[in-house]
Structure 1
Amino acid sequence: MRRHGTSRTTLTWTALAAAAALALSACGDGGTQEPRGPEGSTAAPRVQLPKLPGEKIEVAAVWTGPEQENFTKVLKEFEKRTGATVTFVPAQDPIVTFLGTKIAGGAPPDVALLPQVGALAAAVENKWAQPLGPEASAQLDANYSKGWRTLGAVGGTQYGVYYKAANKSLIWYNAKAFEAAGVKPPKTWKELIAAADTLSASGTPAVSVAGADGWTLTDWFENIYLSQAGPEKYDQLAKHRIKWTDDSVKQALTTLGELFGRKDFLAGGPSGALSTEFPKSVTQTFTGGDRPAAAMVFEGDFVAVNIAQTEAKVGEDALVFPFPAVGGKAPVVSGGDVAVALKPSKGAQALLTFLASPDAAEIHAAQGGFVSPNRAVNPSAYPNAIQRDIAKALIAAGDDFRFDMSDQAPAAFGGTPGAGEWKALQDFLANPSDVAGTQAKLEADAAKAYGN
């Protein structure tokens, strides 16, 4: 599982936060749906695809586990319609390095789904990416807002299709644990810390933190920073126009330290958090009845995929609330994976056409843990009210969004395991009192990666 992340995007607060807050306060509808066609499709095909008998297509992405399995159902439908054979190629972070090795060896995949804005720019700069063909472009123009189309363009040329998006400002909670402790979903950071204190005092650690995966820690920081420092500062820091030693970063890290600095708040304490990978951070929150390993877990709508691996039901046992406001407004961070062709083949373009259509997205949406920026997707494709309303809120935001901070950065700083921002924030999780040291490390790594 990789952030969604989604290259990730930061959507402006008002439209999305308001809609999400209303939607997420509901308990959901238990996940019932209308009967579906093959592989979860909701209607007859709306996109025409060429016949590709005997053609072999490889698709690379950093998705694993249930996320990969659900995407494979989409690929099987493509095979059925075209006669092509599609193979999923598991990629590793950073995906630019993975693809570079494949290309250097003369065996690039036909299509890759890139989880970072910087990765698309790098693919174009390295002359790996192929411009979008007319059929895929037509689907994109018909189904996507200008903002999402712009995300997939470099230098005015359209290269990518944002197939998958995510709202990454969500905190999922174990309903039984909250009820047992007499806790209500908080709306502010102060209320979150108070709830964490009550939960931990009741015998259930408050939060399951996936510290082994540094990308989750960047998301914690970004939500706090966006809400506390505001969008103007956020944009400046994202472009490294202000330094990581800025006082606004100090304030955000100090705030994050209020949570990370309480060992009793974290499932397994700091050492346990640092050894916990994202999938486990979710599953351990929704097993054990009213005494799970933790009462809450922070991350995007894709958490639902991992909840599905437990006995908990989204909308009943597993509920969700928006990331609490730290400053004047609650933050909303989103992201997405952009599909790009790496070979000038008919099969690659046909797959991009399919991925830009509502047909593909509705198959994936029916599986859960997936949100599409495709505005032609029927909301009934989503398996429960929570995910349906998250998707509606994403579409309602229109073009009013900005990129996730770490995904705007060079991969060496914002997207590499064991390095840059990921490593600095893991060290901060281990020692939250060292705010100044963390800032100095972040600034040194950022200056090196940005070349300034």
Structure 2
Amino acid sequence: MHSTLRTHNTLRTHSTLRTHRTRRAAQAAAAAVIVGALALTGCGGDNDKGGSGKPSGGGKESGATVTLPELNGQSLEVAAVWTGGEQANFKKVLAEFEKRTGAKVTFVPAQDPIINFLGSKIAGGQPPDVALLPQPGAIKQAVDKKWAKPIGPEAQAELGKNYSQGWQDIGKVGGKQYGVYYKAANKSLIWYNAKVFENAGAQEPKTWQELMSAAQKVYDSGVTPFSVGGAEGWTLTDWFENVYLSQAGPDKYDQLAQHKIKWTDPSVKDALTTLAQIWGKKDYVAGGAKGALQTEFTKSVTQTFTGGDQPKAGMVFEGDFVQVNIAETKAKIGTDAKVFPFPRVGSEAPVVSGGDAAVILKDSKAAQALVTFLASPDAATIQAKLGGYLSPNKKVPNSAYPNPVQQKIAKSLIASGDNFRFDMSDQAPQAFGGTPGKGEWKDLQDFLKNPKDVAGTQAKLEADAAKAYGG
């Protein structure tokens, strides 16, 4: 099996590939499940019909924000790893592009890791015209291999109008724009059992102090406040990343992600000390440290929403993709299961994100037009209405999302502006940030077991990071 990629061009091992597949599978499944679980699609209108009309032959249709060229007779292929409902909904976006331009678009299902899939296609002389790539490092790898082509002025203009500078910058390599981030994930959310909060008299917190207050009320009501899936180290890195990003700030986050500062830095001490307020608080974590370290991610979610108003825990932290796991419990999202943004520890609430960027592999008028369309609010609004999708495009109206839960998640993502960051462990060498039983995963699991040992944890993190980063 080929290794998958990570940001900054470091290759990951099979264990990391499995982790990415687990996360991506959860997100893809969520795209299919969310609409049914909420029974609130908010769809309708011509956008849902896709290419059901005569091709417009170019120009700007009524209500459209972007002008597209006439492409009658031209065809192109778009590759992505999306399956199920996610793929079906994206095809409706492509159908609208066909309707407005006269082009013929074929969706090519890709295998993960998509870079390896594209390599085989390119070696066979049949690359797709456009590919949707996860992570900034995927774009850089495509550029380094001389596969990717820079986007043109039309798409660049759409980016400038519709995206924050941060979302534009992560699609750049060497100062040139190669990627247009069409899809995003919000990994800075805390889901809670609504009945537990109601019984405890707890309110949705906006600050870390308010979170601790809410947790105490939940505890006093007889329910353990937090469920933690400590058996999988990536859940613990996500906890750390959200606390660190909010407390230390984006610049420090970038420096630590690239190991430009050491894990013995005082900012890491502060974040670990903050985490210990939950991990080290007696009876604040379901099953205690020992139980949490034996709890898989999926169970950490489901045990929060089973047992009526006496579940194993009142809250669980993770991204928007946990909706598929919540749906398995028969809890109604938005009624039984509610969500709030990860509370701010410092001056700003954190948003740790992921996403997929459209990258051109075969430069043509049609490929450039498609990427321009994907950079517009026209395309993203179509898929937003269908559910199970988040867009980093700030011009997509919040009302386009089909229910209050999706609207809150989207609003939090857009409100982060340029302060969002990609998952830090995904930016690290796999030996440090992506291997079960080793590196950051193991060190944070040990810290969960003994949250008093802040200095010792820092020392282990730095030793493992130095070895993995090669210095």
TM-score interval, normalised by the smaller of the two chains: 0.7 to 0.9
- After superposition, the Cα gap between the structure-2 partners of 1:128 and 1:269, relative to the gap in structure 1 and judged at 3 Å, is farther
1:289 paired to 2:308: yes
Is the Cα–Cα contact under 8 Å of residues 74 and 360 in structure 1 kept in the other structure?
no
Matched, 1:160 2:179: yes
Sort the Cα spacing of 1:432 and 1:40 in 2 relative to 1 into closer, same or farther, 3 A.
farther
Which residue of structure 2 lines up, in the alignment, with residue 17 of structure 1? none
Summarize deviations over 1:266-318 as a string: whole Å, max 9, x none: 34544554455545543443344323342112133444455455543443322
Structure 2 CA distance, aligned partners of 1:131 and 1:449? 32
With 305-314 and 252-261 compared, the bigger mean Cα shift is at: 305-314
2-structure distance, mates of 1:433, 1:108: 53
TM superposition shift of 1:78 = 1.4
Of 185, 191, 198, which aligns to 1:179? 198
Structure 2: segments with no counterpart, 5+ residues: 1-21, 28-37, 51-61
**Aligned residues between the structures:** 420
1:69 correspondence with 2:90: no
C-alpha RMSD of the superposition = 4.1
Aligned-pair identity in percent equals 57
Q: Bigger CA drift: 116-125 or 373-382?
A: 116-125
1:207 Cα deviation from its structure 2 partner: 1.9
* Match among 267, 278, 284 for residue 259 of structure 1: 278
> Deviations 1:70-117 (Å, cap 9, x if unpaired)?
34311244157344331333425xx76787788789887665544433
Aligned to 1:24: none
Q: Is the 8 A contact 1:5 1:166 kept in 2?
A: no
The CA distance in 2 between the partners of 1:104 and 1:433, in whole Å, is 53
Q: 1:439 aligns to what SS in structure 2?
A: helix
Offset at 1:145? 3.6
Describe the SS at the equivalent of 1:401: coil
TM-score by length of 1: 0.75
Match of 1:409 among 399, 414, 427: 427
- Return closer, same or farther for 1:252/1:109 CA change in 2, 3 Å cut-off: farther
- Choose which of 262, 268, 277 in structure 2 pairs with 1:249: 268
Q: CA separation in 2, counterparts of 1:284 and 1:358?
A: 38
Paired AA for residue 320 in structure 1: V
Q: Map of 1:70-89 to 2, 5 A cutoff?
A: 70-79=86-95, 81=98, 82-89=103-110
1:58/1:231 CA distance change after superposition, 3 Å:
closer
Contact in 1 for aligned 2:256/2:262 (Cα 8 Å): yes
CA drift at 1:59: 1.5
- Taking a change above 3 Å as real, the CA distance of residues 211 and 357 of structure 1, as seen in their structure-2 partners, is farther
Corresponding residue of 1:25: none
Corresponding residue to 2:230 among 195, 211, 224: 211
C-alpha distance in 1, partners of 2:218/2:428? 39
One-letter amino acid of the counterpart of residue 79, structure 2: E
Q: Which amino acid aligns with 1:331?
A: A
The residue type equivalent to 2:91 in the other structure is L
Q: In terms of mean alpha carbon deviation, does 52-61 or 213-222 score higher? A: 52-61
Alignment of 1:247-396 (within 5 A): 247-262=266-281, 264-270=283-289, 272-274=291-293, 276-304=295-323, 306-326=325-345, 328-341=346-359, 343-344=361-362, 349=368, 351-392=370-411, 394-396=413-415
Secondary structure, counterpart of 1:2 in structure 2 = helix
Instruction: Flag the 1:168–1:58 CA change in 2: closer, same or farther, 3 A.
Output: closer
Distance 2:192 2:168 in 1: 34
1-structure distance, mates of 2:25, 2:421:
13
How much has 1:233 moved relative to structure 2? 3.9
Q: C-alpha separation between the residues in 2 aligned to 1:217 and 1:40?
A: 43
Cα deviation, residue 437, structure 1: 4.0
Distance 1:130 1:232, change over 3 A: closer
Distance change in 2, residues 1:387/1:345 (3 Å): same
- Letter paired with 1:403: R
Q: Secondary structure at the match of 1:129?
A: coil
Q: Residue type matched to 1:226 in 2?
A: L
The correspondence for 1:442, drawn from 455, 461, 471, is 461
SS at match of 1:243: coil
- Of residues 272-281 and 152-161 in structure 1, the stretch that sits farther from structure 2 once superposed is 272-281
> For the Cα contact (< 8 Å) 1:211–1:273, is it kept in 2?
yes
Deviation of the 1:177 alpha carbon: 1.4
Structure 1 residue matching 2:424: 3-state secondary structure: helix
Partners of 2:77 and 2:106 within 8 A in 1: yes
Aligned-partner Cα distance in 2 for 1:371–1:231: 22
User: Whole-Å Cα distance in 1 between the matches of residues 47 and 415 of structure 2?
Assistant: 29
CA shift for structure 1 position 167: 4.0
Contact kept, 8 Å, 2:228 with 2:295, in 1: the verdict is: yes
CA–CA separation in structure 2 for the residues paired with 1:281 and 1:317: 16
